[in-house]
Amino acid sequence: MSDPDNFRWMAAEQGLTFTLERYAAALTLHAGMRDALLRLRQVPLSFLDPTEPDSALVWLENGGRS
Amino acid sequence: MSLADATAAELLAAFAARTASPVDAVQACLDRIAEVDTHLNAVLVLLAEPALAAARQSEKRWTDGTARPLEGVPFGLKDIVATAGITTTGGSALFKDAVPGTDAALTGRLTGAGGILLAKLHTFEFACGGAENRTFGRCHNPWDVDRTTGGSSSGSGAAVAAGEVPLAIGTDTGGSIRLPAAYCGITGLKATYGRVPRHGVMGLSWTLDHAGPMTRSVADAARMLGVIAGRDDRDPTSSRRAVPDYVAALAQPVAGMTVGRARGWFEAVLQPEVLTSYEAALADLAGAGVRVVDVELPDVDLWDVAAWTVMYAEALSYHQHHVYDVENRDAMGAGLLAGGPYVQTVDYLRGLRYRRIAQGQLEAAMAGVDALVTPGAVSTAPALDDIATTGDSASWLISATRTSIPFNYTGNPGLCVPTGLAADGMPASLQFVGRPHDESTILALGQAYQTVTDHHLARPAVPAGA
Stretch B256-266: mean pLDDT, rounded?
97
Q: Could you report the predicted ipTM of this complex, rounded to two decimals?
A: 0.95
Please say whether the beta carbons of B144 and B426 come within 8 A: yes
Convert the pLDDT of each residue in B280-290 to its tens digit. 999 999 999 99
Task: Return the pLDDT at B437.
Answer: 98
Task: Return the pLDDT at B349.
Answer: 95
Handedness of CA B410, A27, B126, B221 (dihedral sign): positive
* Helix, strand or coil, per DSSP, at residue B201: strand
Are B305 and A37 within 8 A, CB to CB? yes
Q: How many CB atoms lie within 10 A of CB B369?
A: 19
Confidence of residue B393 (pLDDT cuts 50, 70, 90): low
Out of B73-77, B160-164, B398-402, which region has the weakest mean confidence (pLDDT)? Answer: B398-402
Convert the pLDDT of each residue in B335-370 to its tens digit. 888 889 999 999 999 999 999 999 999 999 999 999
Task: Return the pLDDT at B91.
Answer: 93
Answer whether A51 touches B (CB < 8 Å): yes
Structural domain includes residue B463: no
Are B392 and A29 within 8 A, CB to CB? yes
Give the distance from residue A42's alpha carbon to the nearest chain B alpha carbon, in angstroms.
10
pLDDT higher for B126 or B410? B410
Are B207 and A40 within 8 A, CB to CB? no
List CB contacts (< 8 A) between A64 and chain B. 359, 362-363, 366, 412, 435-438
Structural domain includes residue B265: yes
Residue of A nearest to B324 (CA): A16
Cα angle B186, B157, B268; round to 5: 70
Asked if pLDDT for residue B465 goes beyond 50, the answer is no
Task: Report phi then psi at B379, rounded to 5.
Answer: -145, 170
Asked if pLDDT for residue B394 goes beyond 90, the answer is no
List CB contacts (< 8 A) between B362 and chain A. 64
Q: How many CB atoms lie within 10 A of CB A66?
A: 12
- Percentage of chain B beyond pLDDT 90 is 89
Task: Return the pLDDT at A46.
Answer: 86
Residue of B nearest to A31 (CA): B395
List CB contacts (< 8 A) between A40 and chain B. 302, 305-306, 309, 347, 350-351, 354
Are A15 and B324 within 8 A, CB to CB? yes
Please say whether the beta carbons of B303 and B365 come within 8 A: no
Query: Please, what is the average pLDDT of chain B?
Result: 95
Confidence of residue B421 (pLDDT cuts 50, 70, 90): very high
Structural domain includes residue B28: yes
Task: Return the pLDDT at B392.
Answer: 56
Give the distance from residue A11's alpha carbon to the nearest chain B alpha carbon, in angstroms.
6
Task: Report phi then psi at A26, rounded to 5.
Answer: -65, -40
Answer whether A46 touches B (CB < 8 Å): no
Contacts with A, B 266-305, CB within 8 Å: 301-302, 304-305
Please say whether the beta carbons of B185 and B215 come within 8 A: no
Catalytic residues of B, which ones? 78, 152, 176
CA distances from B37 to A22, B73, B97, B395, B425 (A): 34, 20, 22, 30, 21
Domain count, chain B: 1
Give the distance from residue B372's alpha carbon to the nearest chain A alpha carbon, in angstroms.
14
Q: Which domain holds residue B200?
A: 3-457
List CB contacts (< 8 A) between B265 and chain A. none
Structural domain includes residue B466: no
Are A52 and B237 within 8 A, CB to CB? no
Confidence of residue B293 (pLDDT cuts 50, 70, 90): very high
Helix (H) or strand (E) holding B450: helix B439-452
**CB nearest to B241's CB, from A13, A22, A61:** A61
| Residue B371 falls in which region: left (phi positive, over 0), alpha (psi -120 to 50) or beta | beta
Task: Return the pLDDT at B371.
Answer: 98
List CB contacts (< 8 A) between A7 and chain B. 341-342
Are B356 and A29 within 8 A, CB to CB? no
Give the N- to C-terminal CA distance of chain A in Å, as an integer. 36
Convert the pLDDT of each residue in A18-51 to its tens digit. 888 888 888 988 999 999 999 999 999 988 777 7
Are B347 and A21 within 8 A, CB to CB? no
Stretch B416-429: mean pLDDT, rounded?
97
Give the distance from residue B247's alpha carbon to the nearest chain A alpha carbon, in angstroms.
20
Confidence of residue B327 (pLDDT cuts 50, 70, 90): confident
Structural domain includes residue B44: yes
Q: What is the interface size between A and B, counted as CB pairs within 8 Å?
A: 141
What CATH number did the domain enclosing B315 receive? 3.90.1300.10
**CB nearest to B334's CB, from A15, A22, A41:** A22
Answer whether B49 touches A (CB < 8 Å): no
Of B301, B304, B283, whose CA–CA distance to B292 is shortest? B283
Are B324 and A51 within 8 A, CB to CB? no
Answer whether A31 touches B (CB < 8 Å): no
Task: Report phi then psi at B42, rounded to 5.
Answer: -85, -25
Structural domain includes residue B232: yes
Give the distance from residue A9's alpha carbon to the nearest chain B alpha carbon, in angstroms.
10
**CB nearest to A64's CB, from B241, B395, B436:** B436
| Chain center to CA of B365 | 25
CA distances from B331 to A31, B194, B317 (A): 19, 30, 19
